């Protein structure tokens, strides 16, 4: 099998769709190493399309005599096959297939996703496996048949070298930052901890983001509520009850609000004025990646990482365009009318799409943001069979379709009505809002929460009977926490990370135990890491330094600066930072250890023991048996003297000396614990306390997460009646 063109795609689904789209006839599927690739002809010329599976090469320290074990700084690195690293051995079959097929190929086509990551991963395959440093380049934003055919016909003669250089720069900088700071932090903790430690990571973007989250955390802690009062007027308007608020929204002095309330008692309200205002609301911009992640979190509580996984699955099937884009614009080249005609074949969108198709000219409400490689995220002209989508895919696809249709729709017309009600010179305002012409809001209605408050018919000078005036005592509220949606938008606003990396950075913070919760809280460990870096390596958490290198990478992309120069600058910066770190390693380690211990203890705490009422139920772990269980902290207190084993004053049954001081082992002498409450725990999976008690027995509820399985919740009490039926065989 010699003399063919080898097309290399980024993922298996893309390889299948490319082959199906451009082949003269149905492609031949060949399976090797349990991976499929495709053989076919294009205009009579033999082609093979073979998939990679993401990055087949990763950066790794160069192994030599001077680089043994964990140490820092480390500046020598090389690209190595991903299959040589633990956890990614399975990529070898893709590596081997490409290696075998490259031997007899006489030309190569780069068909990876059109972005920095795609260009880097394909270039590494070309130079390390195929032994070439250039190839032709297919460029596409969707995996639809028409676009893939067009992409093949008009492919570039060369790969995208500016994008490649920018991508290589990012990989090298992120690797240098990540490995050096991770080693520095981890070693600082390990050298302080007598037993037990954790891998503590830090990154070029990760650390400033964590610092930003901690600043919000501290702002919330520093907040002190201030009391204020409001007056809420209830009047009768015909048969309806109308509510109006005093024009002074907040009274900060109690005596002032008491005086106003006293002045209004026993008097009727007069309609002094009615102000009506109509205003237009433009359709939303098309989705870019950040907007999609934020909206998916707001509507479905999908994490940014989860959103990208679902979007990627829809893209790989040709249903939506490439989901990693900074653009909020849909260019005419995507063929608006063709998309709407296709979407009109789907029942839920038929009415909306057909209405839009009546327009003489289709013009999207494009936003300001652009992307040199891709348009905004949109639904393609190859719609799915909706019945074949899973629940999550249906939700995200519906969101993208409705957003795409909405952006072509008309403005919405809304009306606000402010009725001014006066009582003895004090003015109260009743607010009404209604939709006059729905426009785009009719399409996007499942994802809108417009308030429709219709006021009863009122006339100026009309007298209204007062039902009551409520005095509402309130307090100012602390600033809200970032959600997983809002933090992604804030990262974009501050130019931290990229459309492709922000979700991954956020997920890393969760995985490392630095943050927790849907309303993002910084854990004690995350706080300790940030405080240590702020105190002894402030440049690591500096947004300015991160933004500086982002600008430098833009210069690489625009051929205004060389990658090598920026990488050398990064090494110089890191050398200074790590030198300062090493001077203060012991101090940093103490801060980290304190945070690590506090975080670990909090993670293991389940609540007060319902049995003894004074001890704490905790997750216990035996180093000898490797088993874990729930136990009461009072187990470690003597029931007779109240002291721990090391200080127990009870007399040893063997020698008569105080048990805490005598030489006999605890296997030989008896221990009388204050509380023996204990329960077994599942051997596998991570355990999260939920701070909830079982409604049946009162013991704590925990959540157990196992890889590849849905998380489940359970009472820790194995004798609880809520567990009746567990582990019993199901009757078929």
Q: How far is CA 521 from CA 81, 221, 692, in A?
A: 37, 11, 19
Residue 389 to residue 319: CA distance in whole angstroms: 11
CB 372 within 8 A of CB 359: no
Cα 369 from Cα 379, distance rounded (Å): 19
Which residue has 């002045």 as its token pair? 263
Task: Residue 207: name the closest of 586, 536, 596, 580 by CA.
Answer: 536
Torsion of CA 636, 638, 641, 644, to 10 degrees: -30
Contact 178, 202 (CB under 8 A): yes
Q: Residue 457 is encoded by which pair of tokens?
A: 């018919």
Which residues are CB-contacts of 659 (< 8 A; sequence separation ≥ 6)?
Answer: 638, 645, 648, 649, 650, 651, 652, 669
Q: Residue 233 region, left (φ>0) first, then alpha (ψ -120 to 50), else beta? A: beta
Catalytic hit among 322, 336, 378, 482: 322
- State how far the Cα of 432 lies from the Cα of 478, in Å rounded to an integer: 29
Q: Are 585 and 183 in contact (CB under 8 A)?
A: no
Cis omega (within 30 of 0) for bond into 331: no
Least Cα distance to 245 among 229, 225, 263, 256 occurs for 229
A 10 A CB-CB count for 461 gives 8
Q: Classify each residue of 376-409 as buried b or exposed e, where b means 16 or more C-beta atoms within 10 Å of its C-beta.
A: bbbbbbbbbeeeebeebbbbbbbbbbbbbbbbbb
Distance from chain centroid for Cα 245 = 39
Q: In 10 A of CB 196, how many CB atoms?
A: 12
| 3-class state of residue 685 by DSSP | coil
Strands annotated E in 574-632: 605-608, 616-621, 628-632
What is the C-alpha separation between 269 and 423, in angstroms, rounded? 5
- The yes-or-no answer on residue 279 being catalytic is no
Task: Decide if 40 contacts 17 (C-beta within 8 A).
Answer: no
Using alpha carbons, select from 651, 711, 726, 13 the residue that is nearest to residue 316: 13
Task: Say how far apart CA 51 and CA 11 lie, in whole Å.
Answer: 5
Q: What span, in angstroms and rounded, lies between the C-alpha atoms of 210 and 173? A: 19
Token pair for 137: 């380049």
Token pair belonging to 324: 């990693």
Token pair of 207 as six digits: 């650390």
> Under the phi-then-psi rule, with left for phi > 0, alpha for psi from -120 to 50, and beta for the rest, what region is 685?
left
What tokens were used for 151? 């992409």
The Cα-based distances of 687 to 210, 238, 634 in angstroms read 24, 59, 22
- Residue 293: which of 283, 282, 304, 284 has the closest Cα? 304
Work out whether the CA dihedral 2, 5, 10, 12 comes out positive or negative: negative
Sign of CA dihedral 6, 9, 12, 13: negative
Cα separation, 482 vs 599, whole angstroms = 21
DSSP result, 308-350: HHHHHHHHHTTSB--S--------GGG-HHHHHHHHTTSGGGH
Tell me if residue 118 falls in helix, strand or coil.
Answer: helix
Please, which residues bridge with residue 680 across strands? 629
Q: Which residues are catalytic?
A: 322
């Amino acid at each position: 099998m010699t003399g063919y063109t080898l097309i290399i795609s980024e993922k298996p689904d893309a390889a299948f769709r490319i082959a199906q789209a451009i082949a003269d006839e149905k492609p031949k599927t060949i399976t090797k190493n349990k991976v499929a690739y495709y053989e076919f002809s294009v205009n009579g010329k033999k082609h093979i399309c073979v998939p990679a599976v993401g990055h087949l090469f990763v950066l790794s320290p160069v192994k030599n005599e001077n680089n043994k074990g964990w140490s820092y700084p480390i500046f020598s690195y090389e690209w190595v096959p991903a299959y040589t690293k633990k956890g990614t051995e399975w990529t070898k079959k893709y590596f081997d297939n490409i290696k075998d097929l490259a031997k007899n190929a006489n030309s190569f086509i780069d068909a990876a996703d059109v972005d920095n990551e795609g260009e880097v991963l394909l270039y590494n395959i070309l130079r390390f496996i195929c032994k070439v440093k250039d190839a032709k380049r297919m460029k596409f934003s969707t995996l639809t048949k028409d676009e893939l055919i067009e992409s093949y016909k008009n492919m570039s003669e060369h790969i995208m070298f500016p994008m490649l250089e920018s991508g290589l720069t990012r990989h090298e900088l992120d690797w240098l930052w990540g490995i050096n700071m991770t080693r520095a932090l981890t070693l600082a903790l390990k050298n302080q901890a007598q037993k037990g430690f954790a891998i503590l990571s830090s990154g070029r973007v990760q650390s400033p983001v964590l610092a930003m989250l901690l600043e919000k955390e501290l702002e919330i802690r520093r907040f002190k509520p201030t009391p204020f009062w409001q007056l809420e007027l209830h009047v009768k308007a015909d048969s309806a009850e109308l509510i109006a608020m005093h024009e002074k929204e907040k009274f900060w002095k109690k005596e002032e609000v008491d005086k106003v309330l006293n002045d209004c008692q026993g008097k009727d309200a007069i309609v002094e004025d009615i102000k009506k205002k109509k205003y237009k609301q433009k359709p939303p911009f098309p989705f870019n990646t950040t907007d999609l992640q934020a909206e998916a979190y707001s509507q479905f509580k999908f994490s940014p990482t989860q959103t990208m996984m679902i979007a990627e699955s829809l893209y790989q099937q040709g249903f939506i365009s490439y989901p990693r884009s900074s653009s909020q614009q849909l260019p005419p080249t995507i063929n608006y009318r063709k998309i709407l005609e296709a979407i009109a074949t789907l029942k839920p969108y038929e009415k909306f799409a057909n209405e839009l198709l009546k327009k003489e000219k289709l013009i999207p409400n494009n936003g300001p943001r652009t992307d040199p490689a891709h348009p905004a995220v949109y639904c393609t002209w190859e719609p799915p069979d909706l019945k074949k989508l899973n629940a999550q895919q249906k939700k995200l696809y519906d969101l993208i379709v409705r957003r795409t249709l909405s952006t072509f729709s008309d403005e919405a017309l809304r009306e606000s009505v402010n009725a001014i009600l006066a009582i003895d010179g004090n003015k109260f305002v009743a607010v009404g809002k209604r939709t006059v012409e729905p426009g785009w809001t009719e399409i996007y209605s499942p994802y809108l929460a417009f308030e429709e408050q219709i006021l009863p018919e009122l006339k100026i000078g009309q007298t209204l009977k007062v039902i009551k005036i409520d005095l509402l005592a309130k307090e100012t509220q602390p600033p809200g926490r970032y959600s997983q949606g809002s933090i992604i938008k804030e990262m974009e606003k501050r130019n931290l990370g990229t459309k492709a990396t922000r979700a991954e950075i956020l997920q890393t913070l969760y995985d490392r135990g630095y943050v927790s919760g849907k309303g993002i809280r910084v854990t004690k460990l995350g706080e300790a890491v940030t405080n240590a870096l702020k105190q002894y390596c402030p440049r690591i958490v500096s947004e300015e330094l991160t933004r500086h290198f982002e600008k430098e990478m833009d210069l690489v992309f625009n051929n205004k600066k060389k990658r090598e120069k920026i990488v050398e600058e990064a090494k110089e910066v890191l050398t200074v930072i790590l030198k300062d770190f090493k001077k203060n390693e012991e101090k940093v380690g103490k801060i980290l250890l304190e945070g690590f211990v506090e975080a670990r203890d909090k993670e293991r705490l389940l609540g007060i023991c319902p049995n003894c009422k004074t001890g704490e139920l905790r997750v216990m772990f035996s180093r000898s048996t490797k088993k874990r269980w729930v136990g009461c902290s009072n187990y470690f207190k003597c029931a007779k003297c109240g002291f721990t084993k090391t200080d127990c004053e009870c007399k040893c049954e063997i020698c008569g000396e105080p048990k805490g001081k005598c030489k006999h082992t605890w296997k030989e002498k008896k221990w009388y614990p204050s509380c023996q409450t204990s329960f077994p725990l599942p051997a596998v999976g991570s355990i999260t306390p939920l701070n909830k008690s079982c409604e049946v027995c009162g013991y704590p509820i925990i959540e157990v997460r196992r890889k590849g399985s849905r998380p489940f919740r359970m009472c820790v009490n194995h004798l609880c009646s809520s567990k009746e039926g567990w582990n019993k065989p199901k009757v078929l």
